[in-house]
Amino acid sequence: MAQAGHDTELHAGPDLRWPAGDLSRAPYRVYTDPELYALEQERIFRGPVWNFLCLTCEVPNPGDFKTTFVGDSPIIVTRGDDGALNAMVNRCAHKGALVCYKPRGSVRELACVYHNWTYDLAGNLTGIAFRKGVGGKGGLAADFDQGAHGLQRLRVEVYGGMVFGTFSHETPPFRDYIGAELCANIDRVFIKPLKVLGYHSQVLPNNWKLYAENNKDSYHASLLHVFHNTFGVVRPNMGGGIKISDDGWHHLSYTVRNADSDDAVGREKVRSLQEQYKLQDVTMMEHRLELGDLTTNAIQTVFPTLVVQQILNALAVRQLVPKGVDRSELVWTILGFEDDDADMQELRLKVNNLVGPAGLISMEDGCVGGWVQRAAKADGEAMTVMPMGGRDVQPSEGSRVTEAAVRGFWKGWRELMGL
Amino acid sequence: MSMTMVSNGMDPALRARIEDLYAAYAHTIDDDRLEDWPGFFAARGRYRVTTRENHDLGLPLSLIYCDGRAMMHDRISALRTANIYEPHVYCHAISAVRVLETRDGVHRARSNFVVHRTMSEGDTTTFACGRTFDAIIEEDGVLRFAERVAVLDSRRIDTLLVIPV
């Protein structure tokens, strides 16, 4: 049994050095170590978390499917004949080929092209080619249990028109997972049936966690994203704050337009303020109040990899997909409401100039992660420090100059990783 | 009087002029004379960069959407003064130019393009390839885009898209 103990020790994973009782530091090796990346697949993405899969409006009818990823695992989402949503690992139970190699479509059943094993829309194995052989010869082994060879299923929950999946039986219901306070923002933004206005994605030259942190880092917004400040989407002195779930894993950063929000940022030398820079055409900065409040900007994260976005009238979900230890893909699904009129759609298309890979206030997030990745590589035991707003994960009312939500991310990561 | 003038775009002189427009447009971007880029468009011209995925699904979203020359100027001034990115340059290769038709003074044309991107550290990669679908008009003897839609074959942008294609 001493041997078993040794095995347990090995599976505890890489020995990372953290300061005791301090969430404000993390070793750079978390971004560069392939062993940690492999462990994340098991303990985070296949662990007790809700992973964003797609939107219900992308699979409206029975037989509709969409493919996606949970960590490195390829996933198929289908709508069954009963209208229920299914999520399965996109890997044939036979030789492991992708069952769906197209991004989306509509089918009566799922068929693997390699050896024509077929599955129903819920992933049950329904057909095996040449199961009885040919001319009485060959065929399936007599003891083969067809019922035990379906596609691997995920648990599925729908919230706010978004479809989530989890590999774990321990994941609590979604509402409990992020908490009522953060559910309220999803309820606030996705108030009507959604429609997809389009997609794009960007390949980030960095570990997925650098982008996950970036979204929770409201400290950088007014400093890095110069466009932000200059045109008044977000200024540090606007109303708003940070909400963080009790466990620290999820967050919401929001800003609310004040009556006096047009004044300057203050005496601080914020590089972002460039007086000479004026827009010739301000139509893309128009904000048609549609959600019943004055919130101009709400960035919400659902651990580990989802962002729900409202920036003015630009609504989107961003799904972060790890693609190896030093690469990730950020998939943007840009949304409107089903009942948008032509003017509203045009406004959304214009304001979307602000976000995405070419976004005037978001493109910088594509490169800063890569700069950390390049610099972190050389010295894995050195530490990043996150001291703004303390060392814990307290929410912040009135100020977004805090790294509390970033520390909350590391709290969640360390709890799940057991490190 | 609304006489519709249609030609099949086989006029070699017109074709040469449109090929020259495409080349001048590419040189302006590749030479980093981006302040001149909006001048290739009519004042109310539209410029869009989208993906084949959105185009084929009939989805209206663009990566970049400029409705009028003023928005194009704003893109360039943002790039010069506000946006942060690693310095890089483009080299356009344009091919398969066709003038499809001329109707009511609007020339419909298309082309294929490849954009090679070279970063300041030296890496040259194929950044994008795709097709342009263009509506071109003549103003005071100068051909300008009334609309230019660049459809990227890939949905994936490496890192970021800041310089127009």
A416, pLDDT greater than 60: yes
Tell me what pLDDT residue A236 has: 59
In the stretch 145-184 of chain A, residues with CB closer than 8 A to chain B read: none
Question: Can you give the CATH number for the domain in which A292 is found?
Answer: 3.90.380.10
Asked whether residue A192 falls in the same domain as residue A323, the answer is: yes
String of DSSP letters for B98-141: EEEEEETTEEEEEEEEEEEEEETTS-EEEEEEEEEEEEEEEETT
Which has more pLDDT, A263 or A24? A24
The answer to whether the beta carbons of residues A68 and A54 sit under 8 Å apart is: yes
Within an 8 Å CB–CB cutoff, is residue A328 touching chain B?
A: no
Asked whether residue A149 falls in the same domain as residue A225, the answer is: no
Domain assignment present for B159: no
A55, pLDDT greater than 50: yes
Tell me what pLDDT residue A6 has: 40
Within an 8 Å CB–CB cutoff, is residue A204 touching chain B?
A: yes
Domain assignment present for B47: yes
Domain assignment present for A174: no
Asked whether residue A151 falls in the same domain as residue A185, the answer is: no
Domain assignment present for A210: yes
Domain count, chain B: 1
Asked whether residue A194 falls in the same domain as residue A91, the answer is: no
CB contact under 8 A, A349 and B60: yes
Domain assignment present for B165: no
Tell me what pLDDT residue A13 has: 55
Tell me what pLDDT residue B8 has: 67
CB contact under 8 A, B157 and A196: no
The rounded distance, in Å, linking the Cα atoms of A412 and A415 is: 5
CB contacts < 8 A (A, B): 123
Which has more pLDDT, B129 or A13? B129
A223, pLDDT greater than 70: yes
CB contact under 8 A, B160 and A202: yes
**Residues spanned by the domain of A274:** 180-417
Within an 8 Å CB–CB cutoff, is residue B54 touching chain A?
A: yes
Question: B28 to chain A nearest CA, in Å?
Answer: 20
Rounded to an integer, the average pLDDT of B75-99 is 95
pLDDT band for position A147 (cuts 50, 70, 90): very high
Rounded to an integer, the average pLDDT of A217-246 is 78
Cis peptide before A19 (omega within 30 of 0): no
Q: Which amino acid is at A66?
A: K
Domain assignment present for A359: yes
Asked whether residue A204 falls in the same domain as residue A343, the answer is: yes
The share of chain A scoring above pLDDT 90, in percent, equals 76
Domain count, chain A: 2
Q: pLDDT digits over A381-407, tens only?
A: 899 999 998 888 888 887 778 899 999
Asked whether residue A120 falls in the same domain as residue A63, the answer is: yes
CB contact under 8 A, A199 and B53: yes
Rounded to an integer, the average pLDDT of A213-237 is 76
Interface test with A, best of B160, B162, B163 (most A CBs within 10 A): B160
Domain assignment present for B114: yes
CB contact under 8 A, B155 and A201: yes
Domain assignment present for A35: no
Question: A245 to chain B nearest CA, in Å?
Answer: 31
Question: A174 to chain B nearest CA, in Å?
Answer: 30
Picking from B50, B51, B74, the nearest residue to A280 by CB comes out as B74
Q: pLDDT digits over A179-199, tens only?
A: 999 999 999 999 999 999 999
Domain assignment present for B27: yes
Question: Can you give the CATH number for the domain in which A124 is found?
Answer: 2.102.10.10
Domain assignment present for B64: yes
Domain assignment present for B1: no
Q: Mean pLDDT lowest for which of A120-134, A389-403, B80-94?
A: A389-403
Which has more pLDDT, A44 or A401? A44
The H or E element spanning position B27 is helix B12-30
pLDDT band for position A11 (cuts 50, 70, 90): very low
B87, pLDDT greater than 90: yes
pLDDT band for position B88 (cuts 50, 70, 90): very high
Rounded to an integer, the average pLDDT of A104-116 is 97
Provide ipTM, 2 decimals: 0.94
Tell me what pLDDT residue A395 has: 80
CB contact under 8 A, A205 and B159: yes
Tell me what pLDDT residue A231 has: 61
Tell me what pLDDT residue A224 has: 86
Question: Can you give the CATH number for the domain in which B120 is found?
Answer: 3.10.450.50
Within an 8 Å CB–CB cutoff, is residue A334 touching chain B?
A: yes
pLDDT band for position A285 (cuts 50, 70, 90): confident
pLDDT band for position A21 (cuts 50, 70, 90): confident
